[in-house]
Amino acid sequence: MASVRQVQVTFDCAEPTRLARFWCEVLGYIVPGPPEGFATWDDFDRLHTPEDQPRYFACSDPTGAGPRLLFQRVPEGKVVKNRVHLCVRAGTGLVGDERLATLEAERDRLVALGAVCERVMVADGEYESCIVMRDPNTRDYQFCAA
């Protein structure tokens, strides 16, 4: 029996293209090329409303190490807490003030990309620091800098 070699994480959302582009910037993932007949995604976007844009938008790790992310448009809004979120591992191996400073720098980078900082959770002796955030467009997905 063959083992699983790759994983795709799929997110339901209102605006797949915008959300995928954000995560490409956050993670250093690759944005796929624009649809045939368009030189850039901006050219495509100028001619389409968000509702007319693709129902799906995928992005992938250029190294092939990380999972492919697929964002799919759904008509309904979020009604319950997300059961999955992404943690941006910026402070791996760091502790204390050094970890918090690294996380705060990553938070600032993500805020500049449009994310919203929900709260900073400072180390308490049992858990290390992390920062809870929301994505910039739909504000659907809670994620953290950890």
What are the domain boundaries of the chain?
8-73, 87-145
Residue 13 and residue 19 in contact, taking contact as beta carbons nearer than 8 Å: yes
Edge-to-edge strand list for the sheet holding 130-134: 87-88, 142-145, 130-134, 116-121
Which amino acid is located at 101 in the chain? A
- CB-based contacts of 141: which residues, under 8 Å, 6+ apart? 11, 13, 19, 82, 85, 86, 134, 135
| pLDDT at 55 (0 to 100) | 82
Report the predicted TM-score, pTM, of the whole model to 2 decimal places: 0.78
Q: Would you write out the chain's pLDDT as a tens digit for each of its 146 residues?
A: 666 667 889 988 888 888 898 999 999 999 888 889 999 888 888 888 767 777 888 999 999 899 999 998 887 766 666 667 788 888 888 888 998 999 999 999 999 998 989 889 888 888 888 888 888 765 556 677 77
